[in-house]
Structure 1
């Protein structure tokens, strides 16, 4: 069953730093500070909408540094959510926070109120990049907090960004490898988007920062998907959610409303090309067979994959095959030869 969250946003509340890229109001589309009554209202609505599926969902506090907010306020939100977890109506509570806002004492409080999953905004594992982007924490603090969270029995999520000021493609891959080594239960990947009202926006306007392009970022994130999923770490989010606020305030960056689909299609294209090269398939007609759920991924948005294969000399068509699992594919060649991947 697909995982669901009842998402409540606490924008910028408690965060001691103004990171170069951060505009939480734009990213979340939320400007108000939720109170306990807002938590109850959102959860009751979700109960009505989800029915029995709510037992597999989490109540999630996103958007800020949850464990850095004023303590009584944090507890008031948890107290509003916890009865629904205690009764079994929801599976647990998920929060996101900073690596330097985690210690044994706060973890004890979170456990008392039914928190099950903690996501850390690592963003980079390069101290130079973290300093340039005014994150206010180090890579070692990410490692320490992650280890402490796991040792206390919580599910661990880690968030990283690509295209940060001062970072490189190889630097993002190095960050991903270090994050994977921390054995998180899930990962989110966010390509950097330049927003109005941020330091990064100022650097962009001054010509001191230019974000990577969409194609370059899609290629990188396709590789990062392979890296994490090859280690059985699910990537539960890739790219920012679409919102009117984001489209209004975005100055530059590799944003696309179907960013993950672009990355999944690039992965498929790369795998197909690799199979063709490894098997020394000559130019000509090929038929790519995939599970019905993977047809659009294999074809590519606006038939990009078919066009890319055509540029390499292959006239390709995609057909469905119910016997293939998701992400499996076969390539049928003229003469009856078949390549299975």
Structure 2
């Protein structure tokens, strides 16, 4: 059974740069970084909902989304994670997951995360084509994805991969090649988000200048 996800959004925080397609403030409708007290309130409110309390009871996981969690300072990470410890101890919450970038994974931060019972790491991979990554201003290459994925699995953590087909420079062939490489990595799960154009992003500027065309709904469904 899928876990009951309690999402905590940290819009763009920890990110080293602005990717061409991204504006988390618009995507999630939130601009400020939540405080640890905010996190506790979010958890409490979600644990009261009917979808959580329905039978059979699902395990609950607090999930940090919308930014680069491991790009935050260790003090900031610690303050967030410490807030969740009481919920883990009283078994109201069974785990923690977070999303981050492949180039912000190393043994030091994995050791730190495991000390707070983090179970799952979702890597915002987007593509495994180096040209697509460069055009999207991701600032890492496909080899780094493979290295980080391997390190996460070697540390006994659940690995999720997020893909974004249809970025600038992408083609159906490149998307299929990325899919084949992901299959070789063998993540525990995969999320696919076809590229959409968000207002006030660099991608929107390319779109308005007719230098970028997003996948149509039919294309996205066919490819994904």
Q: TM-score range by the shorter chain?
A: over 0.9
Equivalent position of 1:11 in the other structure? 11
Aligned pair in 2 of structure 1 residues 75, 53: CA closer, same or farther (>3 Å)?
farther
5 Å-filtered alignment, 1:128-143, equals 128-143=131-146
RMSD: 1.4
1:30 deviates by: 1.9
TM-score, reference length from structure 1: 0.63
5 Å-filtered alignment, 1:214-233, equals 214-221=217-224
Equivalent position of 1:121 in the other structure? 124
1:55 deviates by: 5.8
TM-score, reference length from structure 2: 0.94
Tell me the distance in 1 between the aligned counterparts of 2:48 and 2:217: 39
Instruction: Decide which of 89, 96, 101 is 2:99's aligned counterpart.
Output: 96
Tell me the distance in 2 between the aligned counterparts of 1:54 and 1:212: 39
Check the 8 A contact 2:21/2:202 in 1, yes or no.
Answer: yes
For structure 1, the residue ranges without an aligned partner over 5 or more in a row are 222-341
Tell me the distance in 2 between the aligned counterparts of 1:141 and 1:104: 14
Tell me the distance in 1 between the aligned counterparts of 2:44 and 2:214: 41
1:129 deviates by: 0.6
Query: For residues 101-154 of structure 1, what are the alpha-carbon distances to aligned partners after superposition, in whole Å with 9 as ceiling and x for unaligned?
Result: 110110011011111000000000011110011001111111000000000010
Check the 8 A contact 2:119/2:157 in 1, yes or no.
Answer: yes
Q: How many residues are paired up?
A: 221
For structure 2, the residue ranges without an aligned partner over 5 or more in a row are none
Check the 8 A contact 2:3/2:58 in 1, yes or no.
Answer: no
Query: For residues 235-288 of structure 1, what are the alpha-carbon distances to aligned partners after superposition, in whole Å with 9 as ceiling and x for unaligned?
Result: xxxxxxxxxxxxxxxxxxxxxxxxxxxxxxxxxxxxxxxxxxxxxxxxxxxxxx
Equivalent position of 1:85 in the other structure? 88
Structure possessing the higher relative contact order (Cα contacts under 8 Å, 6 or more residues apart): 2
